[in-house]
Structure 1
Amino acid sequence: MFQNKYIWLIWPLFTVVAVFTSWGFKQTTDNDIAVAHTITVFREGAAGFAAASRELETAIREMDATSPHSLHHVEDALKNCRLQYKRIEWFLDYFFFSAAMVYNRPAKTEIDEPYMEYQPPSGLQQMAVLLYSQDPYTQKKALLEQAEVISSSAADLPALLYQFTPTDKAIMESLRIELIRLYANGITGYDAPELKSGIVETAQSMRSIQSVLTPWLEQHLPIADTVSIYLKQCIQYLELHPDFDTFNRLEFLTSYALPLQENLGNLIRSLHLEQHTRGALNYEAKHLFSRNALNTAVFPDSLEQTDSLLALGQRLFSEKALSGNYTRSCATCHQPDKYFSDGLRNSVAFDGVHHVRRNAPSLYYTGLQYAQFWDGRAGSLRKQIQAVIQNPEEMNGVVTTIVTRLKEQPTYKEAFHRAFPSDSAISIQQVATAITAYVNSLSPMNSALDEYIAGNKNALTPAQIRGFNLFMGKAQCATCHFAPLFNGLTPPLYQFTEFENLGVPNNDNLEQLQPDKKDAGRFEFFPIDFYKGAFKTPTVRNAAMTAPYMHNGAFRDLEKVMAFYNAGGGNGLGLNDPFQTLSATKLNLSDGEIKDIIAFINALSDRPAPTYNY
């Protein structure tokens, strides 16, 4: 039996088994041709994972500080256990998510909002962190506890299948989600950056996808044959280039992986197996880097963007009548010619003398988020806009006064009527809605990178290509700034916005850092210790145009930002922040590699935003 101290880790698995056992859950039709085959693939993978987890537990028990070889044995056993888990991850994560979290939960404390509860890090990712700590032998007890939980619960995985049968549609959806996981997380090393095993694991996952698709691929339909070809090419490329640091991710994505995603979508449509049950992915998009890859309708500020509404929103964005003294507008701190930032460390406050405490970030792609402001305290852009307008330090507007001013201008009365034909009575809600529509339009995805992925192989320089591969790999940038928006929207479902504590100081002199003690970040909104110093992860798109950086504008240029990350953030530089979520391990990037990454960030600069006629 499991010891009581482990029960919180495995309870999700017990819960899932109990629920499906008691319901006798079945969902199948006579037309489902791949169900039995899929379950066989899972059973075989689960058996392999259970055996590997037992071997891992044994290796940890044999850890001995006097035998360095024993540590290498544990490392090899952990890599193999992860490799075996990748055979079944797609299945568990889709059909039994709670069970999957027992094995591969992120190696940081997870906050369950709004209940103020949290789960400590556990599973294979946490074991990698413990194994690569400063003195792994002192972590033997913690490693063994994790290994015992994994091996014990892995042995019971077949119980999940009791009276459970997926449908072909569900299987296909699980596979298309798995591809996103591999492209945005697998090849970036998100799961275990310490192990640098992401490429080998991605190949393993691809082989599982290939196996599951066998009943359809064997029918030799033209589109199925195309999928089969791209699958084989993906696997072959991954197997021929297993080294994590030198893997050419851009070539892999553009030549093999993204075409595979496009053609798998075509296969699913041709078989009439479309199903969309979760996440923000748009299955009508060609691939992950398409401009319409995410379904805008799932975000809090989804709006029908009519020309009249966009024109009104753009006009109101620069309207100083929204401020208390006719001197400020949204465009004061978010200037279009500066990529909707203002170039200041902290924006000038309403009184024209003092400064607000946080940097004004670019507004590009902010509509594709689930939380607004650096601390995420606003659940929508409309709420954020109204808050800024009325904030005494920012625009100091009075709602009744603003509405009166707008009503007194005949051109506004006409513009509001065109934008809101069913309700042309001017209100602050309509003001916020119009501005939101305009801000939502600032998601162009027309940078040099986008042009390259679309087929223009001259769009990127060799340095920018090297920088992309570093960003998505060795430098670990993409483990927080996730593709395709390179922000904190977490793949593969893009349902959450991440908050991270980087240990950001109050200055950019890395030899004499000053802690930022004035801003507790999300903790001020959600008073739980793990949110101290945590801020929303912004997009890196257009970052080259929007210095200075970080929530407090502490870093004057990208060179300082990269030096900070390269050193392991605040803790890597000696600040000792107990709640830093960024690994303090140095990245060991060379000066040339840093220059290449900065070159790539420049390749993420979009063409200027469009203008709309009033």
Structure 2
Amino acid sequence: MHMKLTATILILVVIVTAFAFRHPASNGKAYTDNYNKHITALEKSEQSLLQLIRHTDVNTAAGRDQLINKIHECRLSLKASDFWTRYLLPETYKKLNGPLPVEWENEVFEKYEQPYRLTGAGLSLAEIYLNNEEEKFAADTLISLVENSLIGVAAYRSDSLAQALNKPDHFFLANRLYLLNLAAIYTTGFETPDTNRVIPELRFMLQATADIYKTFDQAFPDRSLSVPYHQRYDEMIRFVNSQPDAYSLFDHFTFIRDYVNPLFGFNQEMIRAYGISSRHYYDYALSDTVHSIFDKALFTSHQIKGVYAFVDDPKVLSDIKEAGRLLFYDPLLSGNLSRSCASCHRPDMYFADTTRATPFLFNHQGSMTRNAPTLINSVYNHLLMADGSHMSLQLQGKAVMGHPDEMNGIADSLVERVMSCKEYETIFKRLLRYTPEEKKVNIDHIISAITYYYAGFSQYYAPFDNAFNKGTSIDADVKAGFSLFMSKAKCGTCHFVPHFNGLKPPYLASEFEVLGVPADTAFRQLSPDSGRYLACPAPETLHAFRTGSLRNIQHTAPYMHNGIFRTLEQVIQFYEDGGGAGRGLDVPNQTLDKAPFKLTVTEKKALLAFLGSLNEAVVVDKAPVKLPASKVKRYNDRKIGGEY
């Protein structure tokens, strides 16, 4: 309890410090009154729900239906205040509407510390509990979920937050998160257990937020939302009101392209024009300059330059990149001079290896347990490797080079080998001036050149991006497939816009899922790989794996951490069947819904068309014609790209 209280106080202090700055105080009473009205409405609705639980028999169908209807009523109050609550106290929000009973967080601002356990509570979990036919229902469980939610609601009444609300700066940053969530989660069922409620709740939230906009403009006329913003927002409300109630029929593509994305651009313009800034950790990674959600500069996740972080000179960066290119293909970095980075991450295969389920072991006496994933777009994950065991590109690279099953190298020995080549020696000694704290070339210089090289291939765009960034046309099948992806196919609840990986707004943490991946295609047993558990031992993390990007997915077979599936059709069928648990495997902590569902042949075709629209126009340079010569003659027999 002490740690939780300390964390809450710290966040409140950060928020007040961030927003209590240079703008003179305005008459924000109407705005803060509106905030307090929404918080009070949420509190009263949950108190009413709590009383109903105490006087209802939860083990009768009629009693459960009555409670679920009351939860739906409460959810409207939750959605009406979501604009504020999700941004101002993000950890507390998980008590209001946590998607999982337990989450293990490892976010950017503290990712060099051990992951910590967050207990969820609130309305979604209460509804999920009541809908679980395998449970023996207990009123105490529901009471606990709602009581903890009410404790969370009380935190939003603090004097510190009231001070923040009296300044306009928080508004545009909260609005940015709101718009990103409109694109990424609010229409997917990510936090709405009854998918029949997704679009009705969206309509209610849009209108409630319009009311927030109105009171903000009245309170802060010198910081009001622009006329184009209001016009587009009103058009969005009319569009959503014209759409079907079923989220599987909702036009997700048009909603984001024609409304959410332009609104995001307008809000970014106002952040810059009004000089809005913040030290709230929720704004840590997001860019203030991009105009599109599908701009690859939307957020920053890794320092791709490593020790060369402060180098901006294009000529010097070009030299670093060229050194990295040579090293990427150079087996000099392996213990036996026979394996290079390009051995397992083949540039002609989108920096993956499509020829094998998993790569050969270093000793060639078997295969590794995990697939060689593409390096393209790996920079858009905060935690790396399938189990999230590495926190930076450079740490990952060093681990791979030193791992006895992979490249089996020794750092000091590898540096000596590299520096035995005159071409490498010349460039790295010249680059030393840009890392003045280092007196001699070390493994970090070598790794940083490699990460800077391959990270450059993550800057390309796909036809789907161009539809948002350039207004280019896209096939009807792609639009239909995207809507399926965001709804019936349940993909969008784990693969979030815009990178379709496990990072959801505000893009601070990599999510891990337990899918029940089998060891064989006959589903005789579960893959023995413990996944995230190896880096963060907990019951919830056993067999959990980081959610990877779906970009270029058509080019990067085989699929899953163990390369068990060769085709996307097999992958889709796996999800349709409800993952491993749906196929009868014992996966008690599976996060994927084990209830099977069916897609028609036409729907599968559309879904595949959408996935194809994520293929990026990556231009890969050719392999070096030759590698730098070494003073050690036996090193000069090495082959470009390695032997296996």
TM-score by structure 2 length? 0.85
Cα separation, partners in 2 of 1:272 and 1:214, compared to 1, 3 Å: farther
Partner of 1:239: 241
Partner of 1:259: 262
- Asked if the contact 2:16–2:161 (Cα under 8 Å) also holds between the matched residues in 1, the reply is yes
- Asked if the contact 2:514–2:591 (Cα under 8 Å) also holds between the matched residues in 1, the reply is yes
Corresponding residue to 2:418 among 385, 406, 409: 406
Corresponding residue to 1:352 among 361, 364, 386: 364
Partner of 2:408: 396
Q: How does 1:113-262 map to 2 (within 5 A)?
A: 114-115=113-114, 117-134=116-133, 138-151=137-150, 154=153, 158=157, 164-166=163-165, 167-214=167-214, 224-241=226-243, 242-262=245-265
Cα separation, partners in 2 of 1:313 and 1:155, compared to 1, 3 Å: closer
- Asked if the contact 2:104–2:115 (Cα under 8 Å) also holds between the matched residues in 1, the reply is yes
Unaligned runs of 5+ in 2: 107-112, 625-644
CA RMSD of aligned residues (A): 3.3
Q: Give distance in 2, aligned partners of 1:133 and 1:444.
A: 44
Displacement of 1:168 after TM fit?
0.8
Displacement of 1:157 after TM fit?
5.1
Whether 1:564 aligns to 2:584 is: no
Whether 1:500 aligns to 2:513 is: yes
Counterpart residue type for residue 493 of structure 1: P
Counterpart residue type for residue 331 of structure 1: A
Cα separation, partners in 2 of 1:284 and 1:392, compared to 1, 3 Å: same
Q: Give distance in 2, aligned partners of 1:15 and 1:407.
A: 48
- Three-state SS of the structure 1 residue aligned to 2:104 is strand
Q: Give distance in 2, aligned partners of 1:285 and 1:30.
A: 24
Cα separation, partners in 2 of 1:18 and 1:266, compared to 1, 3 Å: closer
Partner of 1:325: 336
Q: Deviations over 1:536-562 (max 9, x none)?
A: 111111111111111111112111111
Whether 1:441 aligns to 2:456 is: yes
Displacement of 1:226 after TM fit?
0.3
- Asked if the contact 2:213–2:225 (Cα under 8 Å) also holds between the matched residues in 1, the reply is no
TM-score by structure 1 length? 0.88
Whether 1:470 aligns to 2:484 is: yes
Cα separation, partners in 2 of 1:109 and 1:425, compared to 1, 3 Å: same
Structure 1 residues 129-138 or 151-160, which shifts more? 151-160
- Three-state SS of the structure 1 residue aligned to 2:117 is strand
Partner of 1:57: 50
Counterpart residue type for residue 590 of structure 2: Q
Displacement of 1:468 after TM fit?
1.0
Counterpart residue type for residue 464 of structure 1: V
Q: Give distance in 2, aligned partners of 1:97 and 1:399.
A: 41
- Asked if the contact 1:336–1:609 (Cα under 8 Å) also holds between the matched residues in 2, the reply is no
Structure 1 residues 411-420 or 262-271, which shifts more? 411-420
- Asked if the contact 1:300–1:380 (Cα under 8 Å) also holds between the matched residues in 2, the reply is no
- Three-state SS of the structure 1 residue aligned to 2:502 is coil
Cα separation, partners in 2 of 1:228 and 1:117, compared to 1, 3 Å: closer
Q: How does 1:35-54 map to 2 (within 5 A)?
A: 35-54=28-47
Cα separation, partners in 2 of 1:287 and 1:207, compared to 1, 3 Å: farther
Displacement of 1:29 after TM fit?
6.4
Structure 1 residues 396-405 or 362-371, which shifts more? 396-405
Whether 1:286 aligns to 2:291 is: yes
- Three-state SS of the structure 1 residue aligned to 2:294 is coil
Q: Deviations over 1:102-157 (max 9, x none)?
A: 21222242125555652444212211321221257735442233234435764785
Q: How does 1:494-573 map to 2 (within 5 A)?
A: 494-509=507-522, 512-517=523-528, 519-573=529-583
Q: Give distance in 2, aligned partners of 1:14 and 1:313.
A: 44
Cα separation, partners in 2 of 1:329 and 1:119, compared to 1, 3 Å: same
- Three-state SS of the structure 2 residue aligned to 1:203 is helix
Cα separation, partners in 2 of 1:395 and 1:493, compared to 1, 3 Å: same
Q: Give distance in 2, aligned partners of 1:111 and 1:279.
A: 20
Counterpart residue type for residue 231 of structure 2: I
Q: Deviations over 1:259-300 (max 9, x none)?
A: 111112223333333446333111211021112111356789
- Three-state SS of the structure 2 residue aligned to 1:535 is strand
- Asked if the contact 1:203–1:239 (Cα under 8 Å) also holds between the matched residues in 2, the reply is yes
Structure 1 residues 309-318 or 404-413, which shifts more? 404-413
Structure 1 residues 522-531 or 327-336, which shifts more? 522-531
Cα separation, partners in 2 of 1:139 and 1:595, compared to 1, 3 Å: farther
Displacement of 1:73 after TM fit?
3.1
- Asked if the contact 2:180–2:505 (Cα under 8 Å) also holds between the matched residues in 1, the reply is yes
Whether 1:375 aligns to 2:375 is: no
Displacement of 1:15 after TM fit?
8.1
Displacement of 1:232 after TM fit?
0.7
Cα separation, partners in 2 of 1:492 and 1:263, compared to 1, 3 Å: same
- Asked if the contact 2:582–2:596 (Cα under 8 Å) also holds between the matched residues in 1, the reply is yes
Partner of 1:4: none
Cα separation, partners in 2 of 1:485 and 1:531, compared to 1, 3 Å: same
- Asked if the contact 1:308–1:418 (Cα under 8 Å) also holds between the matched residues in 2, the reply is no
- Three-state SS of the structure 2 residue aligned to 1:479 is coil
Q: Give distance in 1, aligned partners of 2:59 and 2:276.
A: 57
Q: Give distance in 1, aligned partners of 2:101 and 2:118.
A: 9
Structure 1 residues 280-289 or 145-154, which shifts more? 145-154
Counterpart residue type for residue 37 of structure 1: A
Counterpart residue type for residue 104 of structure 1: N
Cα separation, partners in 2 of 1:72 and 1:545, compared to 1, 3 Å: same
Q: Give distance in 1, aligned partners of 2:256 and 2:162.
A: 39
- Asked if the contact 1:346–1:552 (Cα under 8 Å) also holds between the matched residues in 2, the reply is yes
Displacement of 1:433 after TM fit?
0.7
Q: Give distance in 2, aligned partners of 1:271 and 1:119.
A: 36
Displacement of 1:209 after TM fit?
3.4
- Three-state SS of the structure 2 residue aligned to 1:360 is coil
Cα separation, partners in 2 of 1:503 and 1:271, compared to 1, 3 Å: same
- Asked if the contact 1:16–1:160 (Cα under 8 Å) also holds between the matched residues in 2, the reply is no
Counterpart residue type for residue 534 of structure 1: A
- Asked if the contact 2:80–2:204 (Cα under 8 Å) also holds between the matched residues in 1, the reply is yes
Q: Give distance in 2, aligned partners of 1:445 and 1:187.
A: 27
Cα separation, partners in 2 of 1:240 and 1:428, compared to 1, 3 Å: same
- Asked if the contact 1:279–1:494 (Cα under 8 Å) also holds between the matched residues in 2, the reply is no
Q: Select the structure with the greater relative contact order (CA < 8 A; seq sep ≥ 6).
A: 2
Counterpart residue type for residue 258 of structure 1: N
Q: Deviations over 1:573-601 (max 9, x none)?
A: 21121222222222433333233222211
Corresponding residue to 1:455 among 460, 470, 476: 470
- Three-state SS of the structure 2 residue aligned to 1:111 is strand
Structure 1 residues 338-347 or 112-121, which shifts more? 112-121
- Three-state SS of the structure 2 residue aligned to 1:88 is helix
Cα separation, partners in 2 of 1:348 and 1:94, compared to 1, 3 Å: same
Partner of 1:384: 396
Partner of 1:336: 347
- Three-state SS of the structure 1 residue aligned to 2:457 is coil
Corresponding residue to 1:272 among 272, 275, 278: 275
Partner of 2:627: none
Partner of 1:430: 445
Displacement of 1:254 after TM fit?
0.6
Cα separation, partners in 2 of 1:297 and 1:71, compared to 1, 3 Å: same
- Asked if the contact 1:472–1:478 (Cα under 8 Å) also holds between the matched residues in 2, the reply is yes
Counterpart residue type for residue 444 of structure 1: Q
